[in-house]
């Protein structure tokens, strides 16, 4: 578990460093290259820095051991961080789309977007997709919802950069071939980027709320757990098994049936073995509460 947190923290810090670099490059490129789309993309990268910071805080908070107020641990801290990211994405997206629509209505669009904006956006797409692949695979391997959410934030940035690339590219074409109408594609691309950002925020927020409500795993997801318990000697039946998500890990409440003539001490030993089996075979299981019934 400790190694899991260290890997997540390293990945988050790397993401923050890269996002700071990209945000600065995009902002400079957007100003020098006269591109609203690139400036909007710079804001998106800057929001990545803040969201990664939220993820880092969430991951560190989730490492705290259980206490009296949090008997099941602090695993949901990562989901709180995910929800913060989602809200930030929606707010940032709304701000960008508001500015883009305002510029379209007022007609204040640039027509001299330069190649520097194009080069920076291509570089950004490559880097952000690489970050997505790295964080998503690591997050899936170590079962970190906050890291996976942050990975999707990188993917949304890569997608928004692609949209910016199209808008900037066509704006440059319009400038080269004297087609003024194409100048409007840059703020339009900025507005599309905003919609992408807001959609990503909605999806992440929906998932974070779902997990925070302790969604119970379905029968297919717990089938291997049931088989492992039934393989334990002296377990006659599973009367009930409820495995609920608690952030990055799972808490199990299970009722097993044993021989009615078994002593309390024997039943206790069987229950302890069931708990040990589940926690040993399933890495995501953080705690197991076993209730023994007579068969």
Burial of residue 85, with CB atoms counted within 10 A of its CB: 0-12 exposed, 13-18 middle, 19 or more buried: buried
User: Residue 83: beta bridge partners?
Assistant: none
CA nearest neighbour of 229 among 262, 278, 283, 282: 278
Compute, in degrees rounded to 10, the torsion defined by CA atoms 52, 53, 54, 58.
100
Length of the chain: 295
3-state secondary structure of 254: strand
Concatenated DSSP letters of 74-122: STTHHHHHHHHHHHHHHHHHHHHHHHHHHHHHHT---S---HHHHHHHH
- Rounded to the nearest 10°, the torsion over CA 71, 75, 76, 80 is 130
Classify each residue of 149-169 as buried b or exposed e, where b means 16 or more C-beta atoms within 10 Å of its C-beta: bbbbbbbbbbbbbbbbbbbbb
Q: What tokens does 158 get?
A: 């890569």
User: Looking at residue 38, what is its pLDDT?
Assistant: 80
pLDDT at 147: 79
Biggest CA–CA distance in the chain, Å, is: 92
Classify residue 219 by burial, with Cβ atoms within 10 Å: 0-12, 13-18, 19+. exposed
Per-10-residue mean pLDDT of the chain, 295 residues long, equals: 70 86 88 78 76 69 59 58 78 80 69 75 89 89 76 79 81 79 78 81 78 69 91 92 75 92 91 93 86 92
The H-assigned helical ranges of 177-240 are 185-212, 219-230
This prediction has a pTM of: 0.57
pLDDT for position 88: 78
278-280-284 Cα angle (round to 5): 75
**Token digits for 202?**
């909605």
pLDDT at 214: 57
- Give the model's pLDDT for residue 72: 52
Return phi, psi of residue 77, to 5°. -60, -35
């Amino acid at each position: 578990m400790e190694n899991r947190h260290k890997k997540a923290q390293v990945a988050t810090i790397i993401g923050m460093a890269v996002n700071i670099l990209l945000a600065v490059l995009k902002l400079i490129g957007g100003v020098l290259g006269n591109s609203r789309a690139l400036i909007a993309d710079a804001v998106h990268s800057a929001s990545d820095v803040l969201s990664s910071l939220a993820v880092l805080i969430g991951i560190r908070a989730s490492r705290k051991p259980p206490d009296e107020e949090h008997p099941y641990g602090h695993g949901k801290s990562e989901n709180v961080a995910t929800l913060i990211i989602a809200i930030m994405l929606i707010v940032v997206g709304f701000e960008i789309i508001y500015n883009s629509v305002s510029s379209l209505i007022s007609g204040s669009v640039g027509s001299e977007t330069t190649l520097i904006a194009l080069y920076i956006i291509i570089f950004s797409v490559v880097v952000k997709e690489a970050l997505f692949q790295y964080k998503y695979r690591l997050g899936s391997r170590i079962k970190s919802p906050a890291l996976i959410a942050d990975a999707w934030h990188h993917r949304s940035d890569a997608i928004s950069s692609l949209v910016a690339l199209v808008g900037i590219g066509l704006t440059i074409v319009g400038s080269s071939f004297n087609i003024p109408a194409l100048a409007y594609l840059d703020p339009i691309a900025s507005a599309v980027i905003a919609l992408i950002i807001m959609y990503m925020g909605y999806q992440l927020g929906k998932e974070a709320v779902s997990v925070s409500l302790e969604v119970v795993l379905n029968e297919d997801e717990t089938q291997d757990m049931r088989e492992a318990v039934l393989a334990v000697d002296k377990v006659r039946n599973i009367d009930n098994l409820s495995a609920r998500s608690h952030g990055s890990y799972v808490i199990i409440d299970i009722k097993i049936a044993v021989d009615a003539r078994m002593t309390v001490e024997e039943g206790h030993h069987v229950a302890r073995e069931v708990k040990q089996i589940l926690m040993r075979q399933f890495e995501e299981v953080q705690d197991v509460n076993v209730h023994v019934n007579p068969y």
